Every structure is written in structure tokens, then in C-alpha cells.
Amino acid sequence: MSEPEFEAPDARFSAFVYYQTQAGVMFLGKVADPTKGEASVDLKKASNVIDNLEMLREKSKGNLNNSEEKLLAVAIEKMRELHLAASQS
């Protein structure tokens, strides 16, 4: 029995998920806002990023390869963890 061949995620999809996640991390105060030069927490905006990623997962169900599904799942999971930690601070 051979293992399935790895299929890389579409570069556009990866970039979109990355940019959304990067914005979410910024809204959670983990990196500085490049326009202000300082980090600040905005839980509402971070929640919107998580909602957008979850909507993307739901709307693209059945149309993603395994790598894309994993990328999106990890992004959502990590954003939820960071959001929870920020909301408890």
C-alpha cells in the first residue's frame, strides 16, 4: 500500500489564509500595527478574523486538498487559542 502523494496548497489560498491570520495576530497584540508602530488588542476585530476563516472553511468544504484543509484548520485553531488567552488577560 503506497502513501498518497503530497499535494501542496494553492499559493493564492495559502497567502490569503496567512494574511488573514497575520491580521488576527496583530489584532491580538502579538505584533505591532505597522501604521501605528505599536501593539494593541482589539478582540472584536480578532473575532471577525476567526469568523472569516471559519466561513471560508465552511464555504470551501469539499473543494480543498488535504494540505489546504490542514492549513486552514491550524490557522483557526491557533487564532482561537490566542484569542482565548488575550480575552483572559
Q: Which helix (H) or strand (E) holds 68?
A: helix 66-87
Task: Write down the pLDDT at residue 4.
Answer: 63
Within a domain: 5:
no
Domain holding 21, by residue range, is 11-87
Task: Write down the pLDDT at residue 89.
Answer: 82
User: Does residue 2 have a pLDDT over 80?
Assistant: no
Task: Write down the pLDDT at residue 6.
Answer: 79
At 50, is the pLDDT very low, low, confident or very high (cuts 50, 70, 90)? very high
Within a domain: 50:
yes
Compute the C-alpha angle 37/45/76, nearest 5°.
Answer: 105
What number of H helices and E strands is found in the chain?
3, 0
Within a domain: 2:
no
Q: What is the mean pLDDT of the chain?
A: 93
Task: Write down the pLDDT at residue 22.
Answer: 96
| Cβ neighbours for 52, distance < 8 A, ≥ 6 positions apart | 20
